[in-house]
Amino acid sequence: MSKLSNINSNLILWGAFACAVLLMFYLRPTVDENRYIYEINRPWNYNLLTAPFDIPVHHDTISAQAIRDSLEASFEPVYMRDAAKESQILAKTATRLLQNTSVSLNAAQRSQVLAKLRDVYQTGVIELSDLPKHPDSTVVANVRLVRDDQAESKAVRSFLTPRQAYGRLDSLLPDKTLHDAVVSARISELLEPNIVLDSITTRRFREEAYATALAPIGVIQHGERILNRGDIVTPQLYTVLHTYESMMAERGGTVTNGNLYPALGALAYMLVLMGALMLFIYFFRRDYFERLPVMLFLLSIVTLFTLLTYGMDLFIRFGIYVVPLAIVPVVVLVFLDSRTAFFTGIITVFLCSTVAQNHWEFILLQFSASLAAVVSIKELSKRSQLIRTSIFAFVAYVVMYASIELMTMGTFNSMVPRMLAVLAINAVLISFAYFLIFMVEKIFGFTSRVTLVELADINHPLLRELSEECPGTFNHSMAVSNLASAAASRIGANVQLVRTGALYHDIGKVNNPAFFTENQHGVNPHDALTPLQSARIVIGHVTDGLRKAEKAKLPSTIRDFINQHHGRGKARYFYTTYCNQHPGEDVDAAPFTYPGPNPQTREASLVMMADAVEAASRSLQQHTPEAISALVNKIIDSQIAEGLHNDSPISFRDVETVKQVFASRLRTMYHSRISYPEAIDKSEKTDTPDGKSPQA
């Protein structure tokens, strides 16, 4: 059954590996030769680019803008004389003069007024508020007046405004009668411009001027070199690249050397990197490789952040620098170890670097941040450590970015403020790794050091209940925790896991505290029970503890300590008593055997050893170094002889170290104290018959 289980685990593992590689390969951004990311005065980060067709060379952006500004400053909008408007105004004026009853004019006088008005409109009436403005917000001084398909430049001041036209008409009238008639008929209301803007012709003239002034200044012929890796993108080359991209878009195609080989190269690249990760785990962390949840976690986090980087590159400029890749080693370090964390982080960086415009700059920046994160956090036990990690990562980003700019550009002036802002956002996002840690705990069933530290708080409801209901058991659990964690530190086991697991290993005793020796005060309820009944109650503290742990939603790693700290061992005292009461019988050991299983990890083995040794040490009559060492050796050797540690990866060398640590700690706990002498009260001296004191 175990062999079949291993086969299924391997199938799942390699299936997940294949899915991860294929998913990253399928969703990778496809880079073609008309899609580039570049900036003015920055190096070109791609291979040699040649012209696939003739590309016109236009003015660069700065020069083109200067030409546009110059054209706008000297451009004269086109106006035309509206003869129909002029005739309409003259007709309305004649009607009003004829219908005016206040001052009546004869036909000759009306003709005279209309003639003067016609002379005014011959000069031209224009509305100044409708005149176009230059880029500097000044009103144009000249306009082009089109007459008989001929454009003539005329100064704006040579025309009259409606107000000026009325004044000119008034000054041209020879007598008061004509003046009064014009005023009475409200002729000023009829005066409108007859020189109006020709927007269509103006637009055509402006486009023709632009086309002439901004005409291509050269041509890059088909096959000619545009620029190569390392060349500085000047404003002129920047314009050429924009022209190239727009022409490629118009043609609706890409220029590539075939899609098959780049795709095969990308697939091989991903297989090599992901294979390197698998080989590293296999050769250097075999225990991780044999745990399916750990491998699925590593494959998942690498794939997740690689795909996230791909997506950010597609939709956001500088998006790949926003993704906090330093979170990868941080999260892996929380659950595994620093070497695996750093290696996993570097593999992720290399996978993501394929979409960076400057591969080596991206790799160096992310490498420095990942290294700073791993060094700064070491062992996460408080959330506040993530803030410190974010600060360290940001400092590493800035120092590396400044170094790269100084090395490549020779100056700090080339540093892009937007890039610094993006790196700052990246560093801030690293501090949110706690949320990802929480999700990993829930999905993969892991337990982080932060959670273990929180569970080890004696104010936790379960531990507080244990200390109140079973003070003897609580003190025993504290002693076991100290013994086991000291041994764990010496053999390189997970100290925090051992410390926390030992605190909870006996919480099932809360249900029946009086049936356990450490909580009894002179009365032993087992005296009224049979050995079989007593064994059932004592063994039941394991299942009771598991029920309490599940109700409190303790992690599975902590529950393992509860059901493994006795393994498949026996309730030895009651089993022996029952055997003595039934001599000659073949006693069934099952009712006296704990449900197990036996310890599966070094940490569980340490708690089993510490639990038995600490309990037995209380029964010693003399706590001499020899007696303590003999007790430790006897307890641990008997467990090994029973095969209780056969399923644990603990080694014989570890066992010898554990014995030494236990003996040393127990000697310290039970060391004898010297007797302090009592002070002599000199006032109580008694005189002898000869009058001398007894001391004399």
CA distance 381 to 454: 9
Contacts of 625 (CB under 8 A, 6+ apart): 663, 667
Beta bridge mates, 225:
50
CB atoms near residue 684 (< 10 Å): 6
Query: Are 369 and 326 contacting, i.e. CB atoms less than 8 angstroms apart?
Result: yes
Helix (H) or strand (E) holding 57: strand 55-57
Phi, psi of 220 (to 5 degrees): -95, 115
Distances (CA, A) of 302 to 219, 224, 599: 47, 42, 32
CA distance 207 to 213: 10
Q: How many domains does the chain have?
A: 3
Q: Does residue 304 sit within a domain? A: yes
Task: Please check whether residues 405 and 468 belong to one and the same domain.
Answer: no
CA distance 667 to 180: 129
Residue 485 pLDDT exceeds 90: yes
CATH number at residue 401: 1.10.1760
Query: Are 380 and 333 contacting, i.e. CB atoms less than 8 angstroms apart?
Result: yes
CA distance 163 to 380: 83
Last residue within a domain, chosen from 165, 187, 212: 212
Residue 57 pLDDT exceeds 90: no
Assign 174 to helix, strand or coil.
coil
Please give the distance of CA 112 from its chain centroid, rounded to a whole number.
86
Query: Are 541 and 512 contacting, i.e. CB atoms less than 8 angstroms apart?
Result: yes
Last residue within a domain, chosen from 212, 228, 254: 212
pLDDT for 690: 42
Domain range for 109 is 67-212
Q: Does residue 643 sit within a domain? A: yes
Residue 594 pLDDT exceeds 80: yes
- pLDDT above 90 covers what percent of the chain? 31
Higher pLDDT, 284 or 58: 284
Residue 661 pLDDT exceeds 80: yes
Task: Please check whether residues 280 and 208 belong to one and the same domain.
Answer: no
pLDDT for 585: 83
Of the candidates 242, 222, 227, 238, the residue with the CA atom closest to the CA atom of residue 35: 242
SS3 letters across 42-89: CECCCCCEECCCCEEECCCHHHHHHHHHHHHHHCCCEEEECHHHHHHH
The per-residue DSSP string of 132-167 comes to: -B-TTSPBPSEEEEEETTEEEEEEGGGSB-HHHHHH
Residue 423 pLDDT exceeds 90: no
Task: Please check whether residues 205 and 73 belong to one and the same domain.
Answer: yes
Phi, psi of 348 (to 5 degrees): -65, -40
Average pLDDT of the chain, as a whole number: 84
Residue 253 pLDDT exceeds 70: no
Edge-to-edge strands, sheet with 78-81: 150-155, 142-147, 78-81, 195-197
CATH number at residue 541: 1.10.3210
The angle subtended at Cα 365 by Cα 361 and Cα 371, nearest 5°, is 140
CA distance 368 to 280: 21
pLDDT for 694: 37
In the chain, count H helices and then E strands: 28, 8
CA distance 121 to 646: 115
The angle subtended at Cα 208 by Cα 202 and Cα 212, nearest 5°, is 145
Task: Please check whether residues 509 and 371 belong to one and the same domain.
Answer: no
pLDDT for 564: 93
Task: Please check whether residues 572 and 513 belong to one and the same domain.
Answer: yes
Q: What is the pLDDT of residues 329-359, one digit of tens each?
A: 999 988 888 899 999 999 999 999 988 877 8
At CB < 8 A and 24+ separation, what contacts does 652-655 make? 654/491, 654/602
Query: Are 155 and 141 contacting, i.e. CB atoms less than 8 angstroms apart?
Result: yes
pLDDT for 671: 66
pLDDT for 674: 56
Residue 682 pLDDT exceeds 70: no
Task: Please check whether residues 523 and 402 belong to one and the same domain.
Answer: no
Q: Which two tokens stand for residue 527?
A: 């005296």
Assign 528 to helix, strand or coil.
helix
Q: What is the pLDDT of residues 205-252, one digit of tens each?
A: 888 888 888 888 778 888 788 887 777 778 887 888 878 877 777 776
CA distance 150 to 144: 9
Q: Does residue 682 sit within a domain? A: no
CB atoms near residue 143 (< 10 Å): 25
Assign 459 to helix, strand or coil.
coil
CB atoms near residue 252 (< 10 Å): 6
Q: Is the peptide bond before 597 cis (omega within 30 degrees of 0)?
A: yes
Residue 274 pLDDT exceeds 90: yes
Q: Does residue 647 sit within a domain? A: yes
pLDDT for 672: 57
Q: What is the pLDDT of residues 114-131, one digit of tens each?
A: 888 888 888 888 888 778
Q: Does residue 248 sit within a domain? A: no
Higher pLDDT, 416 or 327: 327
Task: Please check whether residues 440 and 453 belong to one and the same domain.
Answer: no
Task: Please check whether residues 490 and 595 belong to one and the same domain.
Answer: yes
Phi, psi of 529 (to 5 degrees): -120, 160
pLDDT for 680: 67
Task: Please check whether residues 560 and 433 belong to one and the same domain.
Answer: no
The angle subtended at Cα 596 by Cα 592 and Cα 602, nearest 5°, is 130
Report the interhelical angle of 107-123 vs 83-99 (nearest 10°). Answer: 150
Query: Are 356 and 362 contacting, i.e. CB atoms less than 8 angstroms apart?
Result: yes
Beta bridge mates, 46:
none
Task: Please check whether residues 353 and 427 belong to one and the same domain.
Answer: yes
| Residue 522, Cβ density class (10 Å: 0-12 exposed, 13-18 middle, ≥19 buried) | exposed
Please give the distance of CA 640 from its chain centroid, rounded to a whole number.
48
Last residue within a domain, chosen from 444, 471, 503: 444
Task: Please check whether residues 537 and 600 belong to one and the same domain.
Answer: yes
Mean pLDDT of all residues in 125-142: 79
Query: Are 422 and 521 contacting, i.e. CB atoms less than 8 angstroms apart?
Result: no
pLDDT for 30: 67
Q: Does residue 41 sit within a domain? A: no
User: Confidence band (pLDDT; 50, 70, 90) for 256?
Assistant: very low
Please give the distance of CA 577 from its chain centroid, rounded to a whole number.
62
Residue 409 pLDDT exceeds 80: no
Tell whether pTM > 0.75. Answer: no
Query: Are 26 and 303 contacting, i.e. CB atoms less than 8 angstroms apart?
Result: no
CA distance 175 to 322: 84
Q: What is the pLDDT of residues 537-591, one digit of tens each?
A: 999 999 999 999 999 989 989 999 999 999 999 888 888 888 888 887 888 888 8
CA distance 472 to 113: 124
Of the candidates 197, 195, 196, 194, the residue with the CA atom closest to the CA atom of residue 205: 197
On the CB side of 646, CA atoms within 13 Å amount to 9
Sign of the CA dihedral running 310, 316, 318, 322: negative
Task: Please check whether residues 455 and 403 belong to one and the same domain.
Answer: no
Query: Are 327 and 435 contacting, i.e. CB atoms less than 8 angstroms apart?
Result: no
Helix (H) or strand (E) holding 169: helix 162-172
Q: Does residue 20 sit within a domain? A: no
Sequence-ordered alpha helix ranges (H) in 187-291: 199-213, 235-251, 260-284, 286-289
CB atoms near residue 641 (< 10 Å): 8
CA distance 486 to 452: 17
Residue 425 pLDDT exceeds 70: yes
Q: Does residue 218 sit within a domain? A: no
Mean pLDDT of all residues in 280-292: 90
